[in-house]
Structure 1
């Protein structure tokens, strides 16, 4: 009788029964870091091996993701990386194509007119030239300064400076009319130009043109030399081409 009563008191103890169940659960629960429960490892630092999270420590959870979790192996990773690299390469090529500096050409076209004025000591001439400026860039080009220097037989006879020229738009060509004042003071040339016995008073005029331009945050200087023939004995308004 006494033995049976003793066993009944043990089986009916609720605390002892709960402890035994918890022990069985912990025994069957795999160790921290183990997938099949056979390998040894440390206990979970969050639940301390109890399988329960203490109250007030929810913000200190540690997530353990198995190595075969699909989230660790995203699909089409190489495809996305290749597409991203291709897009970046295409953008770089487009930027280089549109912003790469291209040539700007200065082209003399013709002599429009030559006006001659005789004075007792000099021969004053106004030579009007037509030039073309071509912008091959995809950005506008600003003309900062334009200088023209006239030479006759290697002697500088006149200079002109123009600083109010407008900008040239992208991928376009613009024509400008340039007038150069050439006062000839050399006595031999004056006699040659004023002589009435000579029907054609031809002078070979050299024009040295220099243009300062600005585009894409940098400046450049273009230069061009032209050789043209003019008649210093009379006015001429018949355009004729020039040579470079």
Structure 2
């Protein structure tokens, strides 16, 4: 058995030994596999022959992939930050040039309550919703604040959609006594106009951190005041006192 194995190995090696080598071209070159012995000796490790054009020998471009990954991650992060970053909210007035008082206006010989509708537009430049909290209107006549302040409180789930616009109507009630110029101007039967300075303040919460922020708008508005029902002095006085105590 040993002799047959040895003969087989010699027969296997014989083509390598009998290979004709052109000394003119390879006289100074040695076979990298057999090292010129004509046979492949047993080595402790494995020997693999890989073609030069094998995919595994090509460059991986690792640095390029790392740079591209960092670039796209930075781009996505900037896009997310730009989307959720708080932006401004605009508050504009949509009243007509002259507002007519409503029929809820009441008067008597000593007091006058003027009621009119104040219309505002709320426009958001945010790419995310914002939560509306309240809308407050402060009125001045001849640099004198006229009360009470009108306020509209939104529900807890009142959100303004991204890049959205909403119109909000606020009922404003102003109380004048007999010593005020507004009362004397609106006492007659002719239609008179009062010029008011109206400051509207919107309170809202942003989406990112829920921070409370405000925006305001100041406008000058004409209001027709010769409208409303004449009532006895006691009736108007009781209504004004009750409403003021409830607001306090």
After TM superposition, give the deviation of residue 151 of structure 1 in Å: 1.3
**Alignment correspondent of 1:185:** 177
C-alpha offsets along residues 36-57 of structure 1, whole Å, 9 cap, x if unaligned? xxxxxxxxxxxxxxxx9xxxxx
Relative distance call for 1:74 and 1:151 in structure 2 (3 A) is: same
From 199, 215, 227, the equivalent of 2:220 is 227
Q: 2:140 aligned with 1:162, yes or no? A: no
Query: Bigger CA drift: 90-99 or 126-135?
Result: 90-99
After TM superposition, give the deviation of residue 191 of structure 1 in Å: 2.1
**Alignment correspondent of 1:123:** 112
After TM superposition, give the deviation of residue 74 of structure 1 in Å: 6.3
> 2:89, 2:141 → 1: CA distance?
28
C-alpha offsets along residues 67-93 of structure 1, whole Å, 9 cap, x if unaligned? xxxx9x962112111211121121122
Structure 2: stretches of 5+ with no match in the other structure: 1-43, 45-55, 229-248
Q: 2:215 aligned with 1:202, yes or no? A: no
Query: Bigger CA drift: 211-220 or 172-181?
Result: 211-220
> 2:100, 2:80 → 1: CA distance?
45
> 1:161, 1:86 → 2: CA distance?
49
Q: Alignment length, in residue pairs?
A: 166
Q: 2:202 aligned with 1:211, yes or no? A: yes
After TM superposition, give the deviation of residue 113 of structure 1 in Å: 4.2
C-alpha offsets along residues 187-228 of structure 1, whole Å, 9 cap, x if unaligned? 2422221124xx331110111111111012122111111110
Contact 2:196 2:221 in 1 (8 A): yes
After TM superposition, give the deviation of residue 122 of structure 1 in Å: 1.4
Query: Bigger CA drift: 173-182 or 157-166?
Result: 157-166
**Alignment correspondent of 1:19:** none
Contact 1:113 1:129 in 2 (8 A): no
Structure 1: stretches of 5+ with no match in the other structure: 1-51, 53-70, 236-244
From 83, 91, 96, the equivalent of 2:81 is 96
**Alignment correspondent of 2:101:** 114
- Secondary structure in 1 matching 2:74: helix
> 1:167, 1:78 → 2: CA distance?
47
**Alignment correspondent of 1:79:** 64
> 1:178, 1:209 → 2: CA distance?
10
RMSD: 2.5
Which of the two has higher C-alpha Rg?
1
> 1:188, 1:80 → 2: CA distance?
78
Question: Where has structure 1 moved over 6 Å in runs of 4 or more?
Answer: none
> 2:201, 2:89 → 1: CA distance?
13
Contact 1:151 1:207 in 2 (8 A): yes
